[in-house]
Chains A and B, each alone.
Chain A
Amino acid sequence: MIYSSRRRFIQWGAGIGAASLGGFPYIALGASHKIVIIGGGVGGTTAAGYLKKLDPSLEVTLIEAMPYYYTGFMSNEVVVGERPIDSIKFDYEVLIKMGVRVVIDVASQLNPEKKEVITQGGAKFPFDRCIVSPGIDFKWETIAGYNAQIAEKIPHAWKAGPQTVTLRQQIESLTDGEPVIMIAPPPPYRCPPGPYERASLIAMYLKANKPKSKVIILDMKDNFSKKELFEEGWRHFNYKIEWIPSAEDGVVSHIDPIQKAVYTKEFNTEYKGGVINIIPPQKAGRIAHVADLVDDSGWCPINRKTFESQKHPDIYVIGDAASTSEMPKAAHAANVQGKICAMSILASLRGESLADPTYINVCYSLVEKSYGLSVASVYRYEKSSNLIKTVSMSMSPPLADLPDPGYRKREVEYAHGWFQSIIKDSFLK
């Protein structure tokens, strides 16, 4: 290693024998290692790509149930017809070209002792290291009457794909004057500002197309991400959005799907809507539970520097499923974690140690086509507490403090620029 501050760096390019790429021999460091990654979202694809990039000799296998991945980010633009669903649909061709073995199948079992993943199709994948990046699952039982089947008709659309389109169609065919009812989950959940971006964009659509309709958000909490900024935006555009927090009887406990009605926990208040969008409370994706990687919180405890599970060695958890302290469950965070995890696995295979990392999260929300908001944070690992601590966190300024009148519009353009970039950096395109 030539660079002096070597702890910050990963050594590159180990391989078997006098392996040769492009005619150039390079030095061998040992046998090829098998890395199995479960989940083809941003966390899994980023980790797969970076592992392969850092050490092409690794045997990297990515197991994902679906042949396509629809990004949750930007899916709210699909909900209101601002973007076609195909523009958030991605396949795994880039990773395949890089030499990642992509298996479209459900990872149904993960045996930490045998170090093996078994798919629904019966295939077995032994590993030296396994990365679990399954995203979220829903706690269906928290809302009586709601389940995966009913969600086909009363969508959550919190995993983008067919339900995103269903919600789009329902909003389009809403009768003017009927409300859109949204149910927002308690923390922690995927994409903290997401429900409020969705409410904003639906209100934008309603203002132009169904001016007598409004959005009612029944919330299972009393505060939300970027709240002041969202509310300022809602006032700025005269959006019809009614937010009912937990403290004001906002918690929904059951649903009558035939009547298209939801009922609150405290006073059994009935809300009927032309469209109901339920974003249920969440937990780590299924395989994390099957493999005994979760704790009582429903999420996976990890070493927050390396992302290795605290329950089973050589298994790493990244993305929404992991318990990541002050880092939110967000695509950018999953991308960052995928890279750090790739580096930490490489370091561990080589018996090296990684410098304590920094982490970043950037999160854009659109209130309107030309009005974007952001939160940008830098974090550091704190060894003594195993916490990921925020060192710099800030949101877009309120309207009165904008340094430039074009700020909000620029944030929309940067949101779209960010989207293009993160897709590339996650090897989805």
Chain B
Amino acid sequence: MRRIHYNFMILLSLLLSPAYALAEAVVDTLTIHCSSCHSQTAGINATIPSINGLDSQYLARVMMDYKNGKRLATIMDRIARGYSDNEIKQMAEILGRGRFEATTQPINKTLAEQGRKIHQRSLCEKCHEEGGREPEEGVPILAGQRAVYLYYAMEDYQKLDPKTIKNKDLKKMLKSLKELKPEELNALSQFYASNPKGEEE
């Protein structure tokens, strides 16, 4: 684990976990609002991603992209515009220190297996290591993320113009994604959704 847990986070989780099985509750007047929509424990049809414990660089970049209209959104672009760049950075850091919780959801195993092959064939593993469980820096955890969200996120990436993307890795990802058909995106979503961190942790 390369993520750093600050002492107070550990203390907090110790204090809270016996009383109520919550992941580390990050409590400040900025990020306290995120969980209204981004509940860690919402049910299987939750179309909104789980964001606690994702890489802070990734979170900050995505929020800035929302703010600057560089990422397709329905409401996150509008919300991101309400915060300063510095606040976005702070929020990303706080959320990044949280613990990601995999969503329990029904999985189509056949599709997930197809997705595994697409994951390997399309070189997703290069950045989304261990099937999206242990991503490299700046990359979000995909394993155990909500399937509907994963599908939409990839569909949205397909719509972006690679010329507008500066980040080299992201450019490569866009190229790979553009070659995938909707049913392949669906299989990939099922694979990532089905691949949460195991018991070894």
Contacts and interface: CB of A to CB of B under 8 A. Distances in A.
A421 B42 contact: yes
Contacts of A355: 28-29
Given A13-B12, A332-B36, A339-B33, A411 B74 contact: yes
Contact of B6 (A2, A56, A356, A404): A2
B19 A56 contact: yes
24 contacts: A2-B8, A12-B11, A12-B27, A13-B12, A21-B14, A21-B19, A26-B11, A53-B20, A332-B36, A336-B36, A343-B29, A355-B29, A360-B33, A360-B36, A362-B75, A378-B82, A392-B78, A392-B82, A404-B159, A410-B47, A416-B47, A417-B45, A420-B46, A423-B42
Nearest to B18: A22
A56 B14 CA distance: 12
A418 B37 contact: yes
A230 to B, nearest CB: 17
B123 interface: no
A322 interface: no
Contacts of B22: 53
A357 interface: yes
A13 B11 contact: yes
A29 interface: no
B123 to A, nearest CB: 27
Contacts of A56: 15-16, 19
A420 B75 contact: no
Q: Which of A97, A335, A421 has the most CB of B within 10 A?
A: A421
Interface string A139-158: 00000000000000000000
B69 to A, nearest CB: 9
A362 B73 CA distance: 14
Contact of A425 (B7, B17, B27, B39): B39
A12 B7 CA distance: 12
A250 B39 CA distance: 42
Contact of B29 (A1, A354, A376): A354
Contacts of A403: 72
A411 B48 CA distance: 11
A358 B37 contact: no
Q: Which of B6, B11, B36, B82 has the most CB of A within 10 A?
A: B36
Interface of B: 6-8, 11-12, 14-20, 22, 25, 27-30, 32-33, 35-39, 41-43, 45-48, 72, 74-75, 78-79, 81-83, 90, 148, 152, 159
A420 B42 contact: yes
B158 to A, nearest CB: 11
A421 B48 contact: yes
Contacts of B36: 332, 335-336, 360, 362, 418, 421-422, 425
A9 B97 CA distance: 15
A416 B37 CA distance: 10
B8 A417 contact: no
Nearest to A372: B74
Given A13-B11, A52-B19, A421 B75 contact: no
Interface in A308-323: none
Contacts of B90: 5
B6 A3 contact: yes
A399 interface: no
Contacts of B75: 362, 374, 376, 414
Interface in A378-418: 378-379, 391-394, 396, 403-404, 407, 410-411, 413-414, 416-418
Nearest to A331: B36
Contacts of B41: 424
Given A1-B8, A414-B47, A378 B83 contact: yes
B30 A8 contact: yes
A186 to B, nearest CB: 27
Contacts of A391: 82
A10 B27 contact: yes
Contacts of B81: 378, 392, 394
Contact of B82 (A1, A22, A358): A358
A13 B15 contact: yes
A1 B8 CA distance: 7
B12 A357 contact: no
Nearest to A408: B74
Nearest to B159: A404
A99 interface: yes
A247 interface: no
B174 to A, nearest CB: 16
Contact of B15 (A9, A21, A417): A21
Given A422-B37, A424-B41, A417 B18 contact: no
A8 B28 contact: yes
Contacts of B43: 420
A3 to B, nearest CB: 6
A24 B6 CA distance: 17
Nearest to B17: A22
A425 B40 CA distance: 9
Q: Which 5 A-B pairs have the closest CB atoms?
A: A378-B82, A392-B82, A417-B47, A22-B18, A421-B39
A405 to B, nearest CB: 11
A17 to B, nearest CB: 15
Given A355-B29, A358-B83, 7 more contacts: A10-B27, A12-B27, A53-B20, A339-B32, A343-B27, A414-B47, A425-B35
Q: Which of B8, B12, B29, B33 has the most CB of A within 10 A?
A: B29
A166 to B, nearest CB: 28
